[in-house]
A and B are shown apart, each in its own frame.
Chain A
Amino acid sequence: MSETVRIFVDGEAVSVPETATVAVAVMIAGRSVFRRSVSGEPRGPLCGMGTCLECRLAVDGELHVRSCQTLCREGMRVVTA
């Protein structure tokens, strides 16, 4: 059995497999809008492999973290746009 970890997406707790990336956890939490573009358009993950930077968001206070390349850690706090 794979372990689960609990992270907070915009303050809301969500439990995900420990192998999940933050991008996946945010989607499991029901979000599709990760950030707003420079002109305010809604954006979410595109490439899923760290090159497009569309999925970047704030993780534990650090800005512009690529959520698709970051594994979830217990207690992590993630903020979407």
Chain B
Amino acid sequence: MIGADIVVAGAGPAGIAAAFRAGTSKKVVVIDDNPLAGGQIWRGMARTPWTAPNALFRQNTRIVSADGKNRTLLVENQNGAEEIRYGKLVIATGARELFLPFPGWTLPNIFGAGGIQALVKCGLPVKGKRIVVAGTGPLLLAVASYLKKQGALVPIIAEQAPFRKVFRFGIRKAAEASALFLSLAGVRYATSCWVEAAEGDDQVRRVRLRHGQTTWNQECDYLAIGYGLCPNAELASLLGCGPVDEFQQTCPDIYCAGEVTGIGGVDLSIAEGQIAGYAASGQMEAARKLFPLRRRAQKFASALNKAFALRPELRALPNANTVVCRCEDVTSGSLQSAGSWRAAKLHTRLGMGPCQGRVCGPAAQFLFGWQAESVRPPIFPARIASFLEEGTTK
């Protein structure tokens, strides 16, 4: 068992900001599932705007359970399991991509938009590969630009949102500002356009795109498709956390910051993380000074979420044989009569595989309006030994 004044769950922008602002007088431990700190956006401390030299980073470490009453987390890594006791806990577990089922979406070489970027940053060569980029949001532009710079061919960016909404959001301005516009010269950016189906044998070979009444096939090597982000809220739910107050506090001794509180982008995550770090270490005035910064970032977030709202046509994409739950191969057809998340789980094993509903939960919420309920430990697949070891340390 180790202990720290402040434990931060997640080493992305919000988590690093919180650890940094918690200051040097506190013992800070940051727990992160990834090989490198920096979250999905920075991927490595070299790309972060600041470091947190006071904090001890535990990478490749998963939180599998938590006990709010005794203020302990059970974590697991390659070497085994360990309990970590916290004085204050900052939950900055970030977000994952939202994936929506369509015929063929389970084929290999279909990745998330952020997913393919993560793989390329980890060394996947894409030179000469034809990659369709699809889904929604400004991330598609950033990903397409990045892939092109790595030598990929991007025949089309299919954005499901209509032109008037995207235009009003000011995507062109945003794209120009980040020099994306130039790098994307020659790439077709189609709005009100989405992938209807993917085909292939043991991997994707082509996708069917729709724009209004027109459909056509596009040959490709990879499909990068993401419909925005959804919060990694498992740990917060397990600890019974509700909405946050102005200091990012959700319940006694627990703070939430960044995408886990709602999708808002990196600037909002950094603002919330700093506020949580200050507040968790008792620096309330310093936290208060950042409220205006957070308010500005919230405005951008709300415009973003409005512009890229998902169109209802996407609900009609799965056919009866389309898999919704990829872990248990539960098809859309078998879910039609279920009526609720719980009933579907009981009758079909929806959400009961290794990802524990992380992919199909948000998808089922969009498709059927079902709310996933009751998070129970372990919140991530864990070794039996981890619980036995925990038992022996008590």
Contacts and interface: CB of A to CB of B under 8 A. Distances in A.
Do the two shown chains form a genuine complex with each other?
yes
Interface of A: 16-17, 19-21, 23-25, 27-28, 32-34, 37-39, 41-54, 56, 64, 68-71
B358 A51 contact: yes
30 contacts: A17-B123, A19-B123, A20-B122, A21-B35, A27-B124, A28-B125, A32-B203, A42-B203, A44-B109, A44-B203, A46-B111, A47-B96, A47-B97, A47-B111, A47-B112, A47-B359, A48-B116, A48-B118, A48-B119, A49-B34, A49-B40, A49-B112, A49-B114, A50-B33, A51-B232, A52-B359, A53-B381, A54-B326, A64-B354, A69-B34
Contact of A69 (B33, B109, B110, B359): B33
A51 B355 contact: yes
B202 A49 contact: no
B115 A48 contact: yes
Contact of A53 (B108, B124, B327): B327
B182 to A, nearest CB: 26
Given A17-B123, A38-B328, A47-B96, A68 B111 contact: no
Specify the main secondary structure of chain B where it touches its partner: loop
Contact-size category for B:
35 or more
Nearest to A42: B202
Contact of B34 (A46, A50, A53): A50
Contacts of B99: 46-47, 52
A68 to B, nearest CB: 7
Contact of B358 (A16, A52, A70): A52
B237 interface: no
Contact of B112 (A27, A34, A39, A48): A48
A52 B381 contact: no
A41 B329 contact: yes
Nearest to B94: A49
